[in-house]
Structure 1
Amino acid sequence: MKIIIHGGFFSESDQSHEVKVAKQNSLKEIASKSFDFLKNHSAEETVVFAVKLLEDDELYNAGTGSQIQSDGKIRMSASLMNGETQKFSGVINIENVKNPIDVAKILMKEDDRVLGGNGAKIYAEANGIHDFSTEIPQRRKEYEEKIKNGGKGTVGCVALDKNGKLAAATSTGGKGFEIVGRISDSATVAGNYANEHCAVSCTGVGEDIVSNATAAKIVTRVTDGISLEDAVQKTFVELKKIDGFAGAIAIDKDGNIAHQDSHPTMVFASFDGTDFEVFN
């Protein structure tokens, strides 16, 4: 069993040492709780569990604490992929729900598994997920002052369960001040992808991640027999050619873990029941 989570990026120039320590402690705690959950649950259930904890933490740009778009509203996106069943579900630009990943989870049972905007909100309401404001004062202050700080970042989780099954989940509050209707990578296979061989979750600039097909490319390469380390490295070499800003976390079917960023520092934590690795 293995688990790795991410919470976007950290910038020494834009964030304090106290914020860095808070994120390190938060990620370590969430990774530990999620690993304990993984002991008795599937990889799919666990990545949802972990991403919900990340969505509920105001330190990250997903769920509570999401960025505000150019018209003053919060729109969030999230997706889930089960490596065994090859099913992908997601919501794009959904408003006023506490945990977008919960809506993605419910959508797994549908034939139509990716919903956007008002349709996603109507579906959420019909399935018992009611209005909830994810705005926090700090995000409103940033919006009103038109500040883009280094604290924002997509969240995600990749897990390998005791049965050798993989899953990935990713959630974001967007990049802040974007054009209304802009779609991130988080609810696409470029940002979140898994099969029986490998699972990947990405963070960073969505346009760069989509242009590079980052998550799907890594998984495809591992499926074709390339080692996880080499698959990640080759994919990030290609990302560099477009000066792409991204980070990725990944686990393969053998339990190998990888994490990579193109513009340090991606915040992440991994745990295997014995050893933690946390960004520094």
Structure 2
Amino acid sequence: MKIIIHGGFFSESDQSHEVKVAKQNSLKAIAAKAFDYLQSHTAEETAVYAVSLLEDDTLYNAGTGSQIQSDGKIRMSASLMNGENQKFSGVINIENVKNPIQVARVLMKENDRVLGGNGAKTYATANEFEDYSTEIPQRRKEYEAKVKNGGKGTVGCVALDRNGHLAAATSTGGKGFEIVGRISDSATVAGNYANRYCAVSCTGVGEDIVSNATAAKIVTRVTDGMNLEEAFEKTFAELKEIDGFAGAVAIDRNGNFFHRDSHPTMVFASFDGSTFEVFD
């Protein structure tokens, strides 16, 4: 049983040492809680649980604290993939729900498992998700500064459960001030993908991740016989060819962790029940 989570990127140039320490402590605490949860839950359930905790933490750009788009509204995207049954579900540009990843989780039971915009919100309301504003004052100030003068960070979790099943979940509040209708990688297989061999969650610039098909490539290469490090090496070499900005975390079916970023510094934490690894 293993857990690895991420919370986007950290930049020394625009974030303080205090924020860095806060993210290190937050990720370690969430990884520990998620690992405890994994003891009695499936990989899919645990991935949703961990991402929900990340969505609720205003340090990250997902759920509460999401970025604001160019028209002053928050629209969020999230997806979930179960590696065992190969089901993928997601919401794209959903508004006014607390935990988009939990809406994606409910969609797993449907034949139509990826919903966008008003349809996603209507579905959430029909399934008793209450209206909730995910805006925080800090994001409004950042938005107003961009309007006058005119930020990246997605969250995710990959889990391996006691039955050897893998799952990946990813959630984002977007890149901020984007064109209305823009779709990120987080609710696509480029940014969130899993099968019986490997599971991957990505963060970074969505357009680069989609262009590179990052998560799907890594998983496919592991499935075809590459080890995790080799799959990352080849995929990130191809990302470099387009000067892509991305980070990814992964676990394979043998319990191996791997993580990599194309630009410093992706924030992440992993835990296997005895050893933590947290970004520096």
Partner of 2:204: 204
Q: Indicate yes or no: 2:267 matched with 1:257.
A: no
Distance (whole Å) between structure 2 residues aligned to residue 11 and residue 112 of structure 1:
38
- Map 1:174-193 onto structure 2 (within 5 A): 174-193=174-193
Partner of 1:229: 229
What secondary structure sits across from 2:156 in the alignment?
strand
Query: What's the CA shift for 1:130?
Result: 1.5
Distance (whole Å) between structure 1 residues aligned to residue 278 and residue 237 of structure 2:
24
What secondary structure sits across from 1:145 in the alignment?
helix
What secondary structure sits across from 1:263 in the alignment?
coil
Aligned length: 278
Q: Which amino acid aligns with 1:121?
A: K
Distance (whole Å) between structure 1 residues aligned to residue 269 and residue 130 of structure 2:
31
Distance (whole Å) between structure 2 residues aligned to residue 162 and residue 142 of structure 1:
43
Distance (whole Å) between structure 1 residues aligned to residue 246 and residue 129 of structure 2:
31
1:51-99: CA deviations, max 9, x gaps? 0000000000000000000000000000000000000000000000000
Partner of 1:8: 8
- Map 1:34-45 onto structure 2 (within 5 A): 34-45=34-45
The gaps in structure 1 that reach 5 residues or longer are none
Partner of 2:47: 47
Q: Which amino acid aligns with 1:14?
A: D
Distance (whole Å) between structure 1 residues aligned to residue 238 and residue 188 of structure 2:
19
Segments of 4+ moved more than 2 angstroms: none
Q: Which amino acid aligns with 1:128?
A: E
Distance (whole Å) between structure 1 residues aligned to residue 164 and residue 137 of structure 2:
42
Partner of 1:104: 104
- Map 1:55-74 onto structure 2 (within 5 A): 55-74=55-74
TM superposition score normalised by structure 2: 0.98
Partner of 1:92: 92
What secondary structure sits across from 1:274 in the alignment?
coil
Query: What's the CA shift for 1:172?
Result: 0.1
Identity percentage over the alignment?
84
Distance (whole Å) between structure 2 residues aligned to residue 190 and residue 68 of structure 1:
23
Distance (whole Å) between structure 2 residues aligned to residue 52 and residue 120 of structure 1:
18
Q: Indicate yes or no: 2:157 matched with 1:141.
A: no
Distance (whole Å) between structure 2 residues aligned to residue 11 and residue 102 of structure 1:
29
Distance (whole Å) between structure 1 residues aligned to residue 268 and residue 158 of structure 2:
11
The gaps in structure 2 that reach 5 residues or longer are none
Query: What's the CA shift for 1:233?
Result: 1.0
Q: Indicate yes or no: 2:161 matched with 1:161.
A: yes
What secondary structure sits across from 2:92 in the alignment?
strand
Distance (whole Å) between structure 1 residues aligned to residue 274 and residue 7 of structure 2:
22
1:95-149: CA deviations, max 9, x gaps? 000000010000000000000000000000000001000000000000001189x
Q: Which amino acid aligns with 1:90?
A: G
Distance (whole Å) between structure 1 residues aligned to residue 63 and residue 171 of structure 2:
8
Q: Which amino acid aligns with 1:50?
A: A
Q: Which amino acid aligns with 1:218?
A: I
Partner of 2:270: 270
